[in-house]
């Protein structure tokens, strides 16, 4: 079945341009075009859309209201902002209801790649996951983490280092910060792999604003039946990130590679955590859900790729092998079973192991 | 003679003498006392007088006592210092001679006006609405010909039946300099405000441009796809035409051929894809420039955030391309894994802009038409990021190297530079970011600015 995509803009020229430019995708996508917010919200009551791409500044009902409307009425829709300029206040209203923010002018290839990737990764997850993951404005964090974040930001001169560390050590906040910094929510679109760096790029004032937004973070309800499993996930993510960082330091990797290793291992649990938080029965294979979440939230394609199962493969290089190894080590309850590496990589695995022993990492 | 009479007279005279002696003694004593008092008073007067002289001499202001005809009667030491002549040389001269040619008439007028118009008694300040002092600013002229601005106050003094004028003058060179500086700073501030509002305007315009760029770009993409599809259709048509010609449909074939030639179809099919590719390139360039303006003018907060120096360099070079592209080629040699620095993005952009524009200006000074070269390199060093901007420009003479950071020091012509660029750069790099600047320059051989900025102590995880 063709994916149904709705484009919303108050300017006819933009809609016509998009319609013409996307003509090449007419066989896979069923595209509709709404001239303004009212028309878009009217359509929200009639037709189910897989993806909604909306401009921000429109007379009457603006883009933030359109996306809020869709988040409410069609929570399974993928919601993307495509905007030239919007004031901070309006942008803040989209944090939560929107998944991604593309800046105008958006290159045709970037737009089609973004929509294509999210639809492709969505097809890899169960119907229940495809419906529940886009409905999550953010993932829950342990109450203690949020308290720590709130306290640090309440100080007169909070330390960016400390903020970076709080975010880096929390799976949910890390994911949210990567989402915001890889999109053009704050005017500048970057390719950011590292949540800690993203915090430093955003700065304290923005972090303070974000903390006040409902769609930025929420405390974990520890009485929820899925809470213990979520916390397990969360801990595994921390541990995997720590191990990856340790080992990556000892391996022949580029600086970017070292940074990627940590993130790829941390976000291995992203899909699992999101499914638990979304109340979806857990899939045995969590990689597709992680990839869907990551591409839904606009993570860099390189990082999304590393979340795939067996990203190591035969030619994945040191980085992929490291990630595979760390994953299998972390996911084994006893830490004894063989990780089953691709042929010819045994010495490398051994070096990872010995590094781990040297560093006395507790598995 | 009656002895009684004699005796009485004797007694009387004796008494009178005694009385006279006593009187003399008393008077002598009085005299003695009066003399002491007089001496004391004289001493006091002398002391007061020398104190007054000392006060006059120590005064930082010039005091001139001038008679009603405008001739100098008395001067204090400051007058000697200020006008570079001793008291003897000054007294007797007309006061107007102390001022520059153009001010002399005014000085004479001041003497006349002070004598005739000013209130007579400078002490009676109650209920008197007459003016006490005339003031003006003139140009003083020292004995060595040096001219300097003076502020003067002239008052009238009537003493012992003679009318004088008292001139109190002050050399205001320093104050003038400070005022000029303040005015320049104010101008600078206005300039900064103007730039800021220009920046706001520019980013507003950039945002406005984004929407049309979006649909122009989309439309050209569409034309590109369309051409590819049409080429296939045309190929099929051509095949059909060949078949038709073979089947004897010559007339129709000729008609189509004529129409194709008329429209110059071969040319159209040849040019259209290139036209589309170039248009796409153009619209991409517009997008890039607009993006750079947006990023450059992006208002930063007061706090330091992580900055990707390589990206900032590219943005800045795009924004000021117009300044260098006609005089120089710009090369980047940027370190791949450059650590981020912590800083104020607006300030850092300002520094980069100053460096690039300065390099372009230096190259412009070199005679000849050949393009110069600006080479921008970044390197990560232990705990620091080092940026070098090297130009093949005119170079800085050794005697100017020390002065380049002085505010208002400029060798550029009026309208080219305010002399603030490097002063601001130095302040931002050294004072605000704890960095350092080195200049390596050779007249005729170009200049290299080397700026090192510390990476914020990356103590946290994922901090670097």
Instruction: Give the chain B residue nearest A105 (alpha carbons).
Output: B214
- Considering the domain B59-171 in this protein, what is its CATH number? 3.30.450.20
Q: What is the dihedral of CA B344, B347, B349, B351, to 10 degrees?
A: -130
- Say yes or no for a CB contact (<8 Å) between A105 and B214: yes
Question: Tens digit of pLDDT for each residue in A59-86?
Answer: 999 999 999 999 999 999 999 999 987 7
> In this complex, which of B210, B303, B463 lies closest to A196 when CB atoms are compared?
B463
Question: Tens digit of pLDDT for each residue in B169-208?
Answer: 998 989 888 888 888 778 767 766 776 777 778 777 887 8
Interface of B with A in 179-208 (CB under 8 A): 207-208
Residue spans per domain, chain B = 1-54, 59-171, 178-294, 301-454
* CA angle in degrees (0–180, nearest 5) for B245-B247-B248: 65
| pLDDT (0 to 100) of residue B115 | 85
Residue with tokens 């089953």: A340
Q: What is the DSSP letter of B99?
A: B
B239 three-state secondary structure: helix
Query: Rounded to an integer, what is the distance from CA A230 to the centroid of its chain?
Result: 17
Rg (CA), chain A: 21
- Say yes or no for a CB contact (<8 Å) between A21 and B221: yes
Name chain B contacts of A203, Cβ cutoff 8 Å.
301, 303-305
Below-70 pLDDT ranges, chain A: 187-189, 252, 310-317, 331-353, 355-363
| pLDDT (0 to 100) of residue B388 | 93
- Say yes or no for a CB contact (<8 Å) between A14 and B216: no
| pLDDT (0 to 100) of residue A310 | 66
Residue spans per domain, chain A = 3-123, 140-219, 227-359
- Say yes or no for a CB contact (<8 Å) between B222 and A11: no
Burial environment of residue B153 by CB neighbours within 10 A (0 to 12, 13 to 18, 19 or more): middle
Take residue B204 and report the two structure tokens written for it: 């507003």
Contact residues for B418 (Cβ-Cβ < 8 A; gap 6+): B184, B188, B191, B408, B410
Take residue A195 and report the two structure tokens written for it: 């949540």
Helix spans in B247-264 (H): 250-263
| Least Cα separation, residue A347 to chain B (angstroms) | 28
Rounded to whole angstroms, the Cα distance separating B352 from B401 reads: 20
Below-70 pLDDT ranges, chain B: 1, 119-131, 188, 191-192, 195, 298-302, 407-409, 411-420, 456-464
Does B215 lie at the interface with A, CB-CB under 8 angstroms? yes
Instruction: Give the chain A residue nearest B459 (alpha carbons).
Output: A161
Does B461 lie at the interface with A, CB-CB under 8 angstroms? yes
ipTM of the complex: 0.79
| pLDDT (0 to 100) of residue B365 | 85
Task: Report whether B335 contacts A256 (CB < 8 A).
Answer: no
B451 three-state secondary structure: strand
Domain A3-123 has CATH 3.40.50.360: no
Q: Which residues pair with B139 in a beta bridge?
A: B149
Task: Report whether B360 contacts B394 (CB < 8 A).
Answer: no
A316 three-state secondary structure: coil
Find the distance separating the first CA and the last CA of chain B, reported in whole Å: 141
| Least Cα separation, residue A332 to chain B (angstroms) | 25
| pLDDT (0 to 100) of residue A326 | 78
| Least Cα separation, residue A251 to chain B (angstroms) | 17
Take residue A142 and report the two structure tokens written for it: 């342990």
Does B460 lie at the interface with A, CB-CB under 8 angstroms? yes
| Least Cα separation, residue B382 to chain A (angstroms) | 15
Instruction: Tell me the CATH class for B301-454.
Output: alpha beta
Rounded to whole angstroms, the Cα distance separating B121 from B9 reads: 64
Of A295, A308, A300, A296, the closest CA to residue A135 belongs to: A296
| pLDDT (0 to 100) of residue B26 | 92
> In this complex, which of B216, B222, B461 lies closest to A165 when CB atoms are compared?
B461
Residue with tokens 């933009």: A14
């Amino acid at each position: 079945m063709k994916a149904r995509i709705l484009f919303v803009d108050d300017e006819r020229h933009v809609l016509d341009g998009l319609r013409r430019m996307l003509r090449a995708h007419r066989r896979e996508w069923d595209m509709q075009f709404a001239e303004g917010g009212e028309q878009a919200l009217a359509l929200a009551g009639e037709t189910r859309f897989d993806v909604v791409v909306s401009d921000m500044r429109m007379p009457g009902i603006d883009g933030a209201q359109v996306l809020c409307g869709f988040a409410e009425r069609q929570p399974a829709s993928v919601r993307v902002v495509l905007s030239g300029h919007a004031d901070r206040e309006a942008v803040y209203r989209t944090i939560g209801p929107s998944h991604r923010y593309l800046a105008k002018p958006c290159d045709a290839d970037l737009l089609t790649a973004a929509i294509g990737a999210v639809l492709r990764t969505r097809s890899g997850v169960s119907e229940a996951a495809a419906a529940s993951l886009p409905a999550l404005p953010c993932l829950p964090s342990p109450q203690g983490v949020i308290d720590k974040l709130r306290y640090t930001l309440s100080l007169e001169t909070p330390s960016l280092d400390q903020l970076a560390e709080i975010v880096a050590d929390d799976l949910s906040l890390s994911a949210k910060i990567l989402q915001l910094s890889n999109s053009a929510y704050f005017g500048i679109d970057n390719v950011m792999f590292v949540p800690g760096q993203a915090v430093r790029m955003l700065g304290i004032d923005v972090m303070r604003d974000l903390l006040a937004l409902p769609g930025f973070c929420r405390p974990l309800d520890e009485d929820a039946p899925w809470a213990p499993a979520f916390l397990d996930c969360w801990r595994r993510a921390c541990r995997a990130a720590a191990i990856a960082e340790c080992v990556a330091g000892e391996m022949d990797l580029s600086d970017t590679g070292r940074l990627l290793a940590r993130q790829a291992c941390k976000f291995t649990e992203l899909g699992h955590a999101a499914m638990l938080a979304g109340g979806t029965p857990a899939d045995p294979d969590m990689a597709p859900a992680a990839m869907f979440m990551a591409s839904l939230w606009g993570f860099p394609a390189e990082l999304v790729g590393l979340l795939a199962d067996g990203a190591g493969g035969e030619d994945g290089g040191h980085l992929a092998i490291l990630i595979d190894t760390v994953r299998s080590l972390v996911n084994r309850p006893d830490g004894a079973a063989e990780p089953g590496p691709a042929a010819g990589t045994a010495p490398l695995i051994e070096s990872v192991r010995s590094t781990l022993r040297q560093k006395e990492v507790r598995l | 003679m009656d002895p009684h009479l004699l005796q009485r007279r004797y007694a009387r005279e004796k008494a009178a003498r005694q009385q006279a002696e006593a009187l003399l003694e008393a008077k002598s004593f009085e005299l003695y006392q009066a003399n002491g008092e007089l001496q004391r008073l004289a001493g006091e007067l002398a002391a007061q007088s020398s104190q007054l002289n000392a006060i006059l001499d120590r005064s930082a202001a010039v005091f001139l006592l001038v008679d009603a005809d405008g001739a100098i009667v008395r001067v204090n030491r400051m007058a000697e210092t200020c006008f570079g002549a001793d008291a003897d040389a000054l007294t007797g001269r007309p006061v107007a001679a102390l001022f520059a040619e153009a001010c002399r008439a005014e000085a004479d007028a001041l003497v006349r006006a002070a004598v005739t118009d000013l209130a007579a008694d400078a002490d009676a300040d109650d209920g008197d609405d007459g003016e006490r002092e005339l003031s003006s600013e003139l140009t003083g002229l020292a004995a060595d010909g040096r001219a300097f601005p003076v502020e003067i106050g002239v008052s009238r003094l009537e003493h012992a039946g003679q009318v004088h004028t008292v001139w109190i003058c002050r050399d205001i060179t320093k104050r003038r300099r400070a005022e000029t500086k303040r005015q320049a700073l104010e101008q600078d501030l206005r300039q900064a405000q103007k730039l800021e509002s220009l920046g706001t305007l520019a980013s507003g315009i950039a945002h406005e441009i984004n929407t049309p760029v979006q649909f122009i770009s989309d439309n050209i993409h569409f034309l590109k796809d369309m051409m590819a599809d049409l080429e296939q259709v045309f190929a099929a048509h051509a095949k059909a035409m060949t078949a038709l010609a073979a089947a004897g449909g010559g007339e129709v074939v000729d008609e189509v051929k004529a129409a194709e030639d008329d429209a110059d179809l071969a040319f159209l099919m040849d040019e259209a894809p290139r036209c589309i590719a170039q248009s796409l390139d153009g619209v991409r360039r517009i997008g890039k420039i607009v993006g750079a303006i947006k990023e450059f003018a992006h208002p930063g907060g007061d706090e330091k955030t992580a900055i990707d120096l390589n990206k900032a360099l590219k943005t800045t070079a795009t924004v000021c391309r117009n300044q260098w592209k006609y005089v120089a080629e710009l090369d980047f040699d940027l370190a791949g894994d450059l650590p981020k620095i912590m800083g104020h993005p607006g300030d850092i952009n300002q520094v980069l802009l100053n460096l690039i524009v300065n390099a372009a200006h230096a190259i412009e000074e070199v005679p000849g038409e050949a393009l110069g070269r600006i080479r921008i390199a970044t390197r990560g060093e232990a705990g620091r990021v080092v940026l070098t901007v090297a130009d093949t420009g005119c170079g800085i003479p050794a005697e100017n190297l020390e002065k380049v950071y002085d505010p208002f020091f400029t060798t550029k012509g009026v309208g080219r530079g305010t002399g603030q660029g490097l002063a601001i750069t130095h302040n931002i790099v050294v004072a605000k970011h704890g960095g350092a600047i080195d200049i390596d320059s050779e007249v005729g051989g170009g200049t290299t600015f080397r700026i090192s900025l510390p990476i914020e102590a990356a103590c946290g995880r994922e901090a670097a």
